[in-house]
Amino acid sequence: MSKQIKELQKMVKDLQSQLQTEKVHTEQLKHLKVESLKKDQQAIELNTKMNQIIIDLKKQQNEQNEQWKIKLEELVKTNNKQFDNLRQVLTNNIEQLKTDNIELKKQLEQYQIKFSQKNQNTNIQSQMDIQIEEKQKNEQKEKLGLKNCENILLFIQSSNLKNGVDFLLVTENRKKIKLKNNEWNNYNFGIFLLGERITLTLDYDRQYDEDELGHLKIKTSHLWIKYSSSKIDCSQLGYPGGQGPGKGEKGSGGGYGTDGTGGKGDYGQAGKMYGEETLLKQIHFGSGGGGGVGIIGGSGGGIIELTIEQQLINHGSIQSNGGNSHGGGGSGGSILIELQCQYLKKLKQTFGTIKCIGGGGGNRGGKGRIAIYGIELSSNDILKMDPKPFNRIHK
């Protein structure tokens, strides 16, 4: 019995303890509820203040916007007025410029008329000066009559003629003179190469003029090459290696006046003949030889045309040879000489060495062509010519 009482007492104590705990929890909940209500009230107050601030800010912004709108309208009115004024000023300036331009155009037309008249007068005067100068030179030539190279040299040294214009006199040694390519170089009173190791050639560089070939044209009264070491030379100024109508292939020589060599074994076809012997219907450049692995064929010879009115004295050489190569050599070029003097039998002509042969190497290029007009050549005249020239008195 007492045991049951004790258990009941224990249960009562446990219930009392639980009640006490629940009471504490209830008090805590009440406290939390009160605190929550306070915070809610604070949040409501804060929200109210925020709304008021927003309302105030919007009001201020609207007021500022209204002020800016008023200022902008005033600024637009001011700018419109300034723009209207500026437009009026510009319109006035444009009208003034139009008026000035009309006046300027009239003045310009007057100046152009005056300039044209003056220029025309200047051109007429220049033409008259040129004609007078040419007439004086022709009169000088007529007075001179037939002169050999030595006599004409004495004359020009005591005259007011210009070296490099009326005549060409070179007395220095080891000089290289370059003349214009593919146009006539006229020296009415002679060309005199009186120094040693002088080379007369073209102002031409294949590195910069790949598509252009070398064609030297000279018209002069006299041509005197004094020493054997001096020359007129257009060698290797024809078609480059592997090019031209008579080109050689794969190590064979180029052809022109004769066939190139080669064409056997491992070599390609040699270049063939082309052109005609008179050089009047068409004058040709020499053709290039054939190349090989890492080898470029030799270039063909260029073209030399000489028109000489009175006397030729050549103790040097006139040449237009093909270039050498470890492949095929280039073929020789063309040399055309015309002697115009009516008194040839009274003046001795010295032809000397004239050559347009093919270049050597693996296989030699063919020879070029030489044609000489205005004189009947003797066997002695052609001793140093290679190839043998085509010759007749009249073209």
Q: In terms of C-beta distances under 8 Å and separation of at least 24 residues, what long-range contacts does 61-68 make, across chains too?
A: none
Measure the N-to-C terminal CA separation of the chain; round to a whole number of Å. 170
Mean per-residue pLDDT for 151-158?
A: 91
**Residue 390 CA to its chain's centroid (Å):** 41
Regarding whether 52 and 5 lie in a shared domain, the answer is: yes
**Residue 364 CA to its chain's centroid (Å):** 35
Regarding whether 120 and 81 lie in a shared domain, the answer is: yes
Regarding whether 281 and 248 lie in a shared domain, the answer is: yes
Regarding whether 89 and 217 lie in a shared domain, the answer is: no
Regarding whether 165 and 96 lie in a shared domain, the answer is: no
Q: Which of 360, 288, 300, 357 has its CA nearest to residue 324?
A: 360
Regarding whether 108 and 227 lie in a shared domain, the answer is: no
Cβ pair 186, 134 in contact under 8 A? no
- How do residues 353-377 score in pLDDT, each as one tens digit? 999 999 998 899 999 999 999 999 9
- Provide the domain limits for residue 190: 147-395
- Note the pLDDT of residue 18: 79
Regarding whether 151 and 134 lie in a shared domain, the answer is: no
Cβ pair 212, 272 in contact under 8 A? no
Regarding whether 138 and 162 lie in a shared domain, the answer is: no
- Note the pLDDT of residue 1: 62
Q: Which of 17-26, 43-52, 140-149 has the lowest mean pLDDT?
A: 140-149
Domain boundary (89, 113, 144) is at 144
Maximum alpha-carbon separation in the chain: 183
Task: Provide the residue count of the chain.
Answer: 395
Please tell me the total count of domains within the chain.
Answer: 2
Regarding whether 151 and 132 lie in a shared domain, the answer is: no
- Note the pLDDT of residue 344: 53
Domain boundary (144, 172, 190) is at 144
Cα radius of gyration (the chain): 53
Average pLDDT for the chain:
86
SS3 call for 179: strand
Model-level pTM greater than 0.85? no
Q: d(Cα 159, Cα 52) in Å, to the nearest integer?
A: 115
- How do residues 264-320 score in pLDDT, each as one tens digit? 777 888 999 999 999 999 999 999 999 887 889 999 999 999 999 999 999 999 999
Domain boundary (144, 163, 197) is at 144
**Segments in 158-253 forming alpha helices (H):** none
- How do residues 167-197 score in pLDDT, each as one tens digit? 999 999 999 999 999 999 999 999 999 999 9
- How do residues 78-132 score in pLDDT, each as one tens digit? 777 777 777 777 777 777 777 777 777 777 777 777 767 666 666 666 666 666 5
Q: Which of 55-69, 121-135, 179-193, 216-230 has the lowest mean pLDDT?
A: 121-135
Regarding whether 173 and 132 lie in a shared domain, the answer is: no
Regarding whether 136 and 285 lie in a shared domain, the answer is: no
Regarding whether 376 and 234 lie in a shared domain, the answer is: yes
Mean per-residue pLDDT for 344-350?
A: 79
- Between residues 172 and 44, the one the model is more confident about: 172
What is the signed CA dihedral for 288, 291, 296, 297, rounded to 10 degrees? -30
